[in-house]
Amino acid sequence: MDIREAREALKLYFGYEQFRPMQEQIITHVLQGRDVVVLMPTGGGKSVCYQVPAVVKPGICVVVSPLIALMKDQVEALLANGIPAAYLNSSQGAEEQRQIESQCVAGKMKLLYVSPEKLLSPGFFSFLKHIKVSLFAVDEAHCISAWGHDFRPEYTQLKVLKQQFPQVPVIALTATADRLTQKDIQEQLYLQDPKVFVASFDRPNINLTVKPGQNRFNKITDFLERHHKQPGIIYCLSRKATESLAAKLKSNGFSATFYHAGMSPQERAKAQEAFLRDNVQIVCATIAFGMGIDKSNVRWVIHYNLPKNIESYYQEIGRAGRDGANSEALLFYSFADVMNLRSMLTEGEKGQQELQLVKLDRMQQYAEASICRRRILLQYFGETMEKDCGNCDICRNPPTTFDGTVIVQKALSAIARTQEQANMGLLIDVLRGSRNSQVLSAGFDKIKTYGAGRDVSTMDWQRYLHQMLNAGLIDLAYDQNYTLKLTEQSKQVLFDGRRVNLVKFEEVKQQEEPQIKA
Ligand code: ADP
Ligand code: ZN
């Protein structure tokens, strides 16, 4: 069995003329019976890497996937291509499961999708021993790693695959993996001398832009005017926000719907279908939307709120431009979103909290960056770019910097004189000489720097303070009511004459967009 046979199967069953370069190498290894790890971005063409071997190898390829909704789509697509396939999961009755199992035993099946729960359920291994398993494919393999963004404890038990079936090759696939996750996948699945394939995660056709979160609704309608009738997704943080944003867009004459996990399966299927068929232009969705959605002409993805981490962000924007045509990713960023996410994270499980917070920090730094954004994203996945991308807002419009030493000194001095007891909002009020009750009751109107930063807008103060945070010139004490603290570096600026450059910003309107919140 060689790659020529696989090429024929690709053409016959999938209708593609040739493999993408990495697919061919991967499949060659799988056909040789080697264990393989595939790190390939969404849309890269991972499915073919196990579906084609499944077709040409004798026996059944067992695919472990955590996404039950996705299994159904995949199986339907395979059946439509004339490949016998089925799935087994908790959504089915016993009789249906028995029928599928007997088809497998009779050798009438090429691919069998199972959830990890099903795979690990009593009796399932003895069933597997009755059929000829040609290959195990572990999809969404990053779920195995506690370092990843989608840890699923049941995945850590998948090592039994190698223990029970040492002869059967395993292909592990994921669209997102940093080095730690990669290592976890290999170790925890007990892969034997696996060959690791890392595709470039670069999606050069996706333009990257970050905009401040003020007036987001107006910014979105402006954006939509420029993307007349082009399909796109707006990711929101809450279910309620998806609904209210869709309603607002509709009342402004746009074609929009919403999608979230709180809807009935029928409602969800309806929204998804409408989008796939181009009957609706815009889906306002929570992160529940998009897994396995194979729509190649999504022209843009907007993040109404900052995502929790770079992995999720990259996966979500990766749903745009799968056809390779120019597409846009627009991210709205506000400090309020960060606070919001932070409080959501601190409700979570203790062990994971710190990690999640660090990941959120990285996301925030991305949003605030003043260097090529694609560089930052790819670096995050361990890929170094030779040169700047030329297709992000920073590359197109490099920030001009200026000597901001005086501004930084004013902020630092205000922090010192408020005994490091002010959070960002209060500090800005002090700097701008606001007479609000919090300032007055703390007696901060009596300190020397009170009102010293009146000439700088609230918005610009926020941005300067973020730059200072990123540069380590100040610190933000999450555990002390988010008060700002001085650092070693602050002292260099205050006492040792260190000078600091700041990035200049365009003028932005001060008017606040009413927040759409749950
Ligand atoms: P992933 O699972 O990595 O997100 P998919 O397997 O869903 O990617 O493939 C993404 C898209 O690319 C699908 O529309 C698929 O049909 C298409 N595709 C995959 N391999 C090829 C190929 N060799 N030639 C042309 N199109 C391909
Ligand atoms: Zn760039």
User: What phi and psi, each to the nearest 5 degrees, are found at residue 487?
Assistant: -125, 180
Of the candidate ranges 110-119, 249-258, 371-380, the one whose mean pLDDT is the lowest: 371-380
Please tell me the number of the ligand nearest to residue 49's CA.
1
Q: Where are the alpha helices (DSSP H) in 202-322?
A: 216-226, 239-251, 265-276, 310-317
Q: What span, in angstroms and rounded, lies between the C-alpha atoms of 216 and 463?
A: 17
Point out the ligand nearest to the CA of residue 296: 1
Residue 512 confidence (pLDDT) above 50: no
Give the residue with greater pLDDT, 453 vs 43: 453
CB of 118 closer than 6 angstroms to any ligand 1 atom: no
- Predicted pLDDT of residue 517: 43
Residue 344, pLDDT score: 85
Mean pLDDT of 113-119: 94
Residues 6+ apart with CB under 8 A from 270: none
* Helix, strand, or coil (residue 89): coil
State pLDDT tens for residues 130-147. Answer: 999 999 999 999 999 877
Rounded CA-CA distance 80/254 in Å is 34
Per the rule left: phi > 0, alpha: psi between -120 and 50, beta: everything else, 427 is: alpha
Q: What was the pLDDT predicted at 304?
A: 97
Model confidence at 478, pLDDT cuts 50, 70, 90, reads low
Over residues 413-438, the mean pLDDT reads 96
Residue 93 gets which letter from DSSP? Answer: -
pLDDT of residue 444 exceeding 50:
yes
Q: What share of the chain is helix, strand, coil (3-state, %, to 5)?
A: 45, 15, 40
Residue 290, ligand 1, Cβ within 6 A: no
Indicate if ligand 1 lies below 6 Å from the C-beta of 16.
yes
Coil, helix or strand at residue 358: helix
Torsion of CA 386, 392, 397, 402, to 10 degrees: -70
CB count in 10 Å sphere of residue 57 = 21
Among the ranges given (287-296, 308-317, 504-513), the one the predictor scored with the smallest mean pLDDT: 504-513
User: What pLDDT was estimated at residue 357?
Assistant: 86
What percentage of the chain has pLDDT greater than the value 70? 95
- Relative to the CA of 47, which ligand 1 atom is closest? 6
Give pairs for 481-485: CB < 8 Å, separation 24+: 481/423, 482/339, 482/423, 482/424, 483/420, 483/421, 483/422, 483/423, 484/415, 484/420, 484/422, 484/423, 484/424, 484/427, 485/415, 485/420
CA of 210 to the centre of ligand 2 (A): 12
- Residue 451 · residue 443 · CB < 8 Å: no
Strand locations in 66-186, DSSP E?
Answer: 85-88, 111-114, 133-138, 170-174
Q: Would strands 232-235 and 256-259 be described as parallel, antiparallel, or unpaired?
A: unpaired
**pLDDT for the residue 250:** 97
Distance 376 CA to ligand 2 centre (A): 9
Residue in 8, 16, 74, 200 to alter for ligand 1 test, most ligand atoms within 8 A of Cβ: 16
The pLDDT assigned to 136 comes to 98
19 lines ligand 1 (CB under 6 A): yes
Place 506 in a pLDDT band, splitting at 50, 70 and 90. Answer: low
Per the listing, tokens 């992995």 go with 311
Does the Cβ of 47 fall within 6 Å of ligand 1?
A: yes
Maximum Cα interatomic distance, the chain, rounded to a whole number of Å = 86
Whether the per-residue pLDDT at 22 is higher than 60: the answer is yes
Q: Which residue has the higher pLDDT, 215 or 200?
A: 215
pLDDT higher than threshold 50 for residue 484: yes
pLDDT band at 189 (very low <50, low <70, confident <90, very high): very high
Tell whether ligand 1 has an atom less than 6 A from the beta carbon of residue 45: yes
Three-state SS annotation for 441-509: HCCHHHCCCCCCCCCCCHHHHHHHHHHHHHCCCEEEEHHHCCEEEECHHHHHHHHCCCCCEEECCCCCC
Evaluate if residue 513 carries a pLDDT over 60: no
Cα separation, 254 vs 248, whole angstroms: 9
Q: How confident is the model at residue 479 (pLDDT cuts 50, 70, 90)?
A: low
Closest-CA residue to 164 (of 308, 62, 242, 266): 62
Nearest alpha carbon to residue 390 among 382, 380, 398: 398
What per-residue confidence (pLDDT) applies to 504?
80
Q: Distance, CA 209 to ligand 2 centroid (Å)?
A: 9
Q: Is the CB of 169 under 6 A from ligand 1?
A: no
The yes-or-no verdict on residue 50 having pLDDT over 70 is: yes
- The average pLDDT across 310-339 equals 92
Pick the residue whose CA is nearest to atom 16 on ligand 1.
45
ipTM over the 0.95 cut-off: yes
Q: Is the pLDDT of residue 110 over 70?
A: yes
Rounded distance from Cα 24 to ligand 1 centre (Å): 13
C-alpha 166 – ligand 1 centre gap (Å): 30
CB of 74 sitting under 6 A from ligand 1: no
Nearest C-alpha neighbor of 328 from the set 223, 248, 229, 254: 223
Position 509, amino acid: K
Residue 511 has pLDDT above 50, yes or no: no
Structure tokens at 205: 């056709």
Answer yes or no: is pLDDT of 502 > 50.
yes
List, for residues 395-416, the tens digit of each pLDDT value: 999 888 899 999 999 999 999 9
Among 7, 19, 48, the mutation site with the greatest number of ligand 1 atoms within 8 A of its Cβ is 48
Task: Supply the pLDDT for residue 145.
Answer: 85
**DSSP secondary structure of 410-444:** HHHHHHHHTTT--BHHHHHHHHTT---HHHHHTTG
Are the C-beta atoms of 157 and 120 separated by less than 8 Å?
yes
- Is the pLDDT at 55 greater than 80? The verdict is yes
**Average pLDDT of the residues in 219-246:** 96
CA angle 181, 186, 190 (to 5 degrees): 140
Q: Is 427 in the pocket of ligand 1 (CB under 6 A)?
A: no
pLDDT band with cut points at 50, 70 and 90 for residue 354:
confident
Q: What values do phi and psi take at 281, rounded to 5? A: -85, -40
Residue 509 pLDDT greater than 50, yes or no: no
Residue with CA closest to ligand 1 atom 25: 16
| Cβ neighbours for 129, distance < 8 A, ≥ 6 positions apart | none
CA 397 to ligand 2 center in whole angstroms: 10
User: Quick one: average pLDDT of 315-320?
Assistant: 92
Tell me, what's the pLDDT at 353?
80
Q: Is the pLDDT confidence value at 211 over 80?
A: yes
pLDDT of residue 469: 78
> Are 214 and 186 in contact, with CB atoms under 8 Å apart?
no
Residue 5, burial from CB neighbour count under 10 angstroms (0-12, 13-18, 19+): middle
Report how far residue 112's alpha carbon sits from residue 474's, in angstroms, rounded to the nearest whole number: 55
